[in-house]
Amino acid sequence: MSRFLEENPKSNMKERHERTLESSRKKEQIKGNKLTALCGVFTALAMILSYLESLVPITFAVPGIKLGLANLVTIIALHKLGLKPTIIISVGRIILSGILFGNVTVIIYSLAGAALSILVMALVRLFKIFTVTGVSILGAVAHNLGQLFVAVIVLENVNIMYYFLVLGISGTIAGAFIGILAGMIMRNIHFR
């Protein structure tokens, strides 16, 4: 009887310990599943936003000027989900909407822009100098730059880089707008 009493609290502790371990493991599992689901939702949202934007063509004097609504998703993903999910979401979005609405050229240009944009945004975030708006501005400008690099290579004409002067202005304004919007959304919507 006394042995039983002695053992019981021990086994209880053990059990409890195992249970907490299990629950923490379960929590991680949910986190992973939730992350996967969120990646899917974000990719879909980004695709819808880039499709919406293509429905309302705002053409200015110089090609390449656009708002970049899909970048909203990229920025929120980068802040809330991390770098790896952001890359998955961006690449997924570009390849899927490229196949659905565009062609190989569009995919190559978009990938180059997104790659440089995400690289710059991830680096800038490390230094913590700028808020979400600054990150977004630099991301937009880097996006334009990445696409111009591809244009220079494809067209074998370096003079195209002059377009950066115009795209830099439009990218800064669009990036600021998207950044402020992303900041407001992240203030009001919680993901975890």
Which parts of this chain interact with another protein (CB under 8 A)? 59, 61-63, 105, 109, 129-134, 137-138, 141, 151, 154-157, 159-160, 162, 164-166, 168-169, 171-173, 176, 179-180, 183-184, 186-187, 190
* Smaller CB separation from another protein, 10 or 190: 190
* Smaller CB separation from another protein, 43 or 64: 64
Helices (H), the chain: 2-55, 70-80, 83-101, 104-127, 132-155, 163-188
Smallest gap from residue 16 Cβ to another protein (A) = 29
Smallest gap from residue 24 Cβ to another protein (A) = 21
End-to-end Cα spacing for the chain? 48
* Smaller CB separation from another protein, 46 or 137: 137
* Smaller CB separation from another protein, 2 or 103: 103
Instruction: Report the C-alpha gap between 95 and 103 in whole angstroms.
Output: 9
Smallest gap from residue 180 Cβ to another protein (A) = 6
Instruction: Report the C-alpha gap between 16 and 26 in whole angstroms.
Output: 15
Burial of 61 (0-12, 13-18, 19+ CB in 10 A): exposed
Instruction: Report the C-alpha gap between 55 and 69 in whole angstroms.
Output: 12
Enumerate residues 6+ apart whose C-beta is below 8 A from 46.
70, 73, 74, 89, 90, 93
Smallest gap from residue 72 Cβ to another protein (A) = 13
Smallest gap from residue 102 Cβ to another protein (A) = 9
* Smaller CB separation from another protein, 43 or 68: 68
